[in-house]
Amino acid sequence: MSSRLFLDFASTTPIHPLVLETMNEVLNDSPGNPSSVHNEGRKAKFIIEETREKVAQLLSLEPAEIIFTSGATESINTVLKSFFFQKFPEKANFFSSEVEHHATLHSLVFLKSKGANITYLPVDNLGDLLPFPHIHPNVFYSLLAVNNELGTILSPQIISDVKKANSYIHIDGVQALGKIDIQPYLNANYLSFSGHKIQGPRGIGLLVVRGGSELVPLLHGGSHERNRRAGTEDTAKIAGFGKALSIALESQPKNNAHVKMINHYLRGKISQLTHTIKINSPETGSPYILNFTYSQDKSENIDGEAMILALDGNGISISNGSACASGSFEPSHVLSAIGKTEYQAKSTLRVSFSAETTIEDIDRFIHVFERILNRMKLAHKII
């Protein structure tokens, strides 16, 4: 029996063996509470501060600019709610886009219900922001560096434009870290990152607060993280994040070249299929994500969820959009924003790669996918 084929690395990645080794060492050797003054506590605290310095050095930041959080969802919630608390009521003005991750969109919906003004910038059919309107002062922008469904890359030029206009910008850098050059985005006022997308553990992330940018904490209850994020730190996950980041950045050029080749190969294979398939990811996007719609017309009556389940039944794990969207059977908001009908959005797959993905994996996927699609189309004709 053949082993399973995982092509959903944008949803999460397996922990790197060296990260696991680092975490096991910390779990075994440093069980103290980092806030305790005794030996065990000081040892745990040392690991955290050492990791903070390492992460800062890897990203060309100051250690004080780094806050360890439970993941990007917490980082994003913190930064958006912080601006709201600073500016409410008359100046809580946010600009974001229609294709953000739910961590951003749902936070903004909540803030709107509390009185914030939200403007959603529209995008074109590849997920790129449409020509940018005038930037008002004192507005908070929150944008993705790399779209998690399409792979579309934000032009970092917007960061300096927003700052020049005396506004503020937060970048959701989750799908960018370790995959594309992150440096141009680090000029933003705030950035959010996640450990489990770079072969680190789940439940750990960063909130980067640049320079003297203000931050109102989301969590209160202690002076951890320089009074900006209360709660006992998870020493092992923090150390694991540091290790994962150094591995990801060191192997980035090699991995990127490999994944580009895999992405190109899959694009070629898709174009050879007899079915009409529309690739939704821009050629210039992140090579780690390839999103395509395999049935354009409702009359073909293909059941998108059945496709995911049939692939799964054949040992292949793939999403049809973000993990949340596929879990809730809702058509993805990102695909709606780029102009897909509800039917097309459901007839879409997001294949996402890792440095371990091989040409043979792609051949296997294409073979199984084509067989299922042929069968589904035939079954419809027979019915």
* Chain positions contacting ligand PLP, by CB under 6 A: 71-73, 101, 103, 144, 148, 172, 174-175, 194, 205
Residue closer to ligand PLP, measured from CB, 173 or 304: 173
Q: How far is the CB of 195 from ligand PLP (least distance, A)?
A: 7
Q: Given CA atoms 333, 337, 342, 347 in this order, what sign does their dihedral have?
A: negative
Q: How far is the CB of 236 from ligand PLP (least distance, A)?
A: 17
How many whole angstroms separate alpha carbon 141 and alpha carbon 139? 6
Residue closer to ligand PLP, measured from CB, 194 or 256: 194
Fill in the amino acid letter for 66. Answer: I
Asked if 68 and 193 touch (Cβ cutoff 8 Å), the reply is: no
Tell how far CA 268 is from the center of its chain: 26
Q: How far is the CB of 10 from ligand PLP (least distance, A)?
A: 6
Backbone angles phi, psi at 267, to 5 degrees: -55, -45
How many whole angstroms separate alpha carbon 352 and alpha carbon 316? 12
Residue closer to ligand PLP, measured from CB, 73 or 357: 73
Instruction: State the alpha helices, DSSP H only, in the chain.
Output: 17-29, 39-59, 72-87, 102-113, 157-164, 224-227, 235-272, 304-313, 323-327, 333-337, 342-346, 359-382
Residue closer to ligand PLP, measured from CB, 103 or 307: 103
Active-site position among 324, 336, 341, 342: 324
Q: How far is the CB of 11 from ligand PLP (least distance, A)?
A: 6
Q: How far is the CB of 356 from ligand PLP (least distance, A)?
A: 19
Residue closer to ligand PLP, measured from CB, 174 or 308: 174
Q: Given CA atoms 61, 65, 68, 72 in this order, what sign does their dihedral have?
A: negative
Active site residue 324: yes
Residues identified as active-site: 324
